[in-house]
Amino acid sequence: MKLTVMMFAAALMLAGCKGGSSAEKVSDYGADPKKAESIYSYTPTTGVMVDEFRSDDGWKYVCASALMGVSSEHHRLYSPNGNLRLILGGASEMGGACGWRIDYAENGNVRAVGNIGCLADEEYSRLSKGGNAALEVMKEKLESGKCQTQYIIERAKNGRITRAGGIVVPQGYVVKVYIKEWGPFWISDIDGGRFGFFVSLAPEGKERENGVSLLYCNDRLIAETAHKNRKPTKIRTYNSFGQPVGVYKSDKENAADTAFYDYDKEIVRNF
């Protein structure tokens, strides 16, 4: 099915939205409700070792690291109520770890996701020791409340998401927000270790069967997926400048992975 010009225009308009991504300070800990909304889940991976450390006051630090081959690593901090608050990723060529912070509202919904940037050398050195030293580094990043970019999640009274960062959800679309490893996380020392904050928009009702879904990463449109009878048939990718880069046939939901390498491509056109 061909992607219509109308859908491309709407997607580009949404990609150009700005408001909602600011470097404002967030509260030190925010709410810590029980059974809060989850926007990330760790998938066990072959060849990866997982270590856990729990402090006396109930905080839990989890580290996953590749046993051989590449040097990707994966760090998570959970609150006493079991809520994921910080997630960091890195690889040997990065020489550090970069991450994300999650804040919750009192009702348990995610209210903001913040990019906290990369750890300083001293912080990364302490993190590498693991155990209590690593947990303290993670808690310090949480307590500082500093984010390079913050994506606010706005909702209607019924809890439906109406805006995620700079992405305004149009009528007729359902939205999903989540954090995910982006790219070859466990198979590359160069690209491995990246996380992204994703916003997925899909048409509702019958439109979903043969419609076009949109995928954003860190507030930028990265892919459109055309569906036929609810099955993905074609993916169009965009680079970081918002320019269309490639069109691919697809028989599975792999838009993020397909878009990963195209995101850094620069398109030069002669007029």
Q: What is the pLDDT of residue 269?
A: 61
DSSP 114: E
Q: What is the pLDDT of residue 112?
A: 95
Q: What is the pLDDT of residue 191?
A: 85
Q: What is the pLDDT of residue 38?
A: 95
Q: What is the pLDDT of residue 23?
A: 35
Q: How far apart are the first and last CA of the chain?
A: 30
Q: How far apart are CA 117 and CA 138, in angstroms?
A: 13
Q: What is the pLDDT of residue 179?
A: 96
Q: What is the pLDDT of residue 267?
A: 79
Q: Which residue shows structure tokens 């909602």?
A: 20
Q: What is the pLDDT of residue 268?
A: 66
Q: What is the pLDDT of residue 271?
A: 47
What pTM was estimated for this model as a whole? 0.85
Q: What is the pLDDT of residue 13?
A: 36
Q: Which residues of the chain are modeled with pLDDT < 50?
A: 1-28, 271
